[in-house]
């Protein structure tokens, strides 16, 4: 069944209305017209099932309603070419894009992040974190290294990062496309990926691993990110990934231009 949303009409909408009515979420008139009443009932159903409450009957919602067997999301991956991404990364050597785009897309596909919004968030995150479009290790700065301290000493005792003291700050500094930082994150995503990241943190800078880390990290934040995007709040979407607004201008520019260049599936 095709995705159903506001202003749709026909037999499938009528089936949706009847199903919502049966489950106790009255859409009002059962007339085959997807109006505000149907949208409100659908949102109430989505909230009751802890789904993204966007008022759209897409694959996941239709499956939860028992109206579809396949909850796979439509994929926009095919439209993410080197040429398109080069337009989103205007200051990046195209060779870097050719080398790093495949492992990035492979990671997104492995974690089911194939819808245009999440694909664009992934690309926007890479541009905000490392515009060179290659996995990099964090550089020393006044935010991680004190004036007279050893490299990354300001991270050494960051309990919020799971660090236990020197040399954890430098050992678990930011790496990869998403700048994975802190002992706790290296341990967590090492387990998720089945890779000994905590023992060998340098692996986070290898493109294949970096692509999978990015995807796994975004998968954990998927719901929060999508809710922010529903509100058109790119600052909140960036905060969900980064914890702040670093690189927000590049993040926003990439996301907005990506909507123009990459078609929805």
Is residue 6's pLDDT more than 90? yes
pLDDT band per the 50, 70, 90 thresholds, residue 154: very high
Which residue has 């992934």 as its token pair? 122
DSSP state of 175: E
The strand ranges marked E within 40-192 are 136-137, 175-176
Which residue has 């990934």 as its token pair? 241
pLDDT in tens, 165-194: 999 999 999 999 999 999 999 999 999 999
Tell me the C-alpha to C-alpha distance, in Å, between residue 49 and each of 4, 28, 43, 61, 68. Answer: 18, 21, 10, 9, 16
CA 38, 225, 49, 105 dihedral sign is positive
Q: Are 211 and 106 in contact (CB under 8 A)?
A: yes
Q: Of the candidates 11, 14, 12, 17, which has an alpha carbon nearest to the alpha carbon of residue 1?
A: 12
Tell me the C-alpha to C-alpha distance, in Å, between residue 256 and each of 123, 148, 244. Answer: 11, 42, 19
Q: Helix crossing, 183-193 with 207-230: angle to 10°?
A: 100
pLDDT in tens, 95-148: 999 999 999 999 999 999 999 999 999 999 999 998 999 999 999 999 999 999
Q: What is the mean pLDDT of residues 23-46?
A: 96
Look at residue 73 in the predicted model and tell me its pLDDT. 87
Look at residue 264 in the predicted model and tell me its pLDDT. 86
Domains and CATH numbers, the chain: 11-64 (1.10.101.10), 77-135+207-261 (no CATH), 137-205 (3.30.20.10)
Is residue 51's pLDDT more than 90? yes
Q: Mean pLDDT score of the chain, rounded to an integer?
A: 96
Round to whole Å and give the CA distance between 150 and 10: 67
Is residue 205's pLDDT more than 90? yes
Round to whole Å and give the CA distance between 133 and 185: 22
The size of the chain, in residues, is 265
Give residue 263's Cα distance to chain centre: 17
In sequence order, what are the residues at sequence separation of 6 or more whose Cβ sits closer than 8 angstroms to the Cβ of residue 95?
none
Round to whole Å and give the CA distance between 65 and 68: 8
pLDDT band per the 50, 70, 90 thresholds, residue 243: confident
Round to whole Å and give the CA distance between 259 and 25: 33
Q: Are 68 and 58 in contact (CB under 8 A)?
A: no
Tell me the C-alpha to C-alpha distance, in Å, between residue 249 and each of 38, 76, 105, 124, 133. Answer: 37, 24, 23, 10, 16
pLDDT band per the 50, 70, 90 thresholds, residue 244: confident
Q: What is the mean pLDDT of residues 1-22?
A: 94
pLDDT band per the 50, 70, 90 thresholds, residue 1: confident
Q: Of the candidates 247, 110, 100, which has an alpha carbon nearest to the alpha carbon of residue 177?
A: 100
pLDDT band per the 50, 70, 90 thresholds, residue 242: confident
């Amino acid at each position: 069944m095709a995705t159903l949303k506001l202003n749709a009409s026909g037999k499938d909408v009528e089936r949706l209305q009847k199903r919502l009515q049966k489950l106790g979420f009255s859409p009002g008139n059962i007339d085959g017209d997807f109006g505000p009443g149907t949208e409100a009932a659908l949102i109430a159903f989505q909230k009751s099932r802890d789904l993204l409450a966007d008022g759209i009957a897409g694959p996941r919602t239709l499956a939860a309603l028992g109206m579809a067997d396949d909850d796979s999301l439509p994929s926009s991956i095919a439209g993410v070419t080197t040429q398109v991404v080069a337009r989103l990364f205007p200051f990046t050597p195209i060779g870097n894009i050719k080398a790093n785009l495949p492992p990035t897309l492979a990671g997104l596909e492995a974690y089911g992040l194939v819808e245009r919004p999440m694909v664009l968030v992934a690309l926007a995150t890479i541009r905000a974190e490392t515009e060179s479009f290659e996995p990099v290790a964090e550089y020393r700065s006044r935010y991680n290294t004190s004036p007279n301290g050893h490299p990354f000493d300001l991270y050494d005792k960051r309990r919020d990062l799971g660090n236990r003291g020197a040399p954890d700050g430098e050992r678990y500094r930011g790496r990869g496309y998403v700048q994975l930082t802190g002992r706790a994150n290296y341990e967590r995503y090492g387990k998720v990926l089945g890779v000994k990241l905590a023992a060998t943190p340098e692996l986070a800078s290898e493109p294949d691993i970096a692509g999978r880390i990015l995807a796994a990290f975004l998968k954990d934040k998927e719901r929060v990110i999508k809710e922010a995007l529903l509100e058109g709040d790119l600052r909140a979407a960036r905060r969900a990934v980064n914890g702040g607004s670093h690189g927000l201008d590049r993040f926003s520019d990439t996301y907005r231009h990506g909507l123009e260049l990459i078609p929805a599936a």
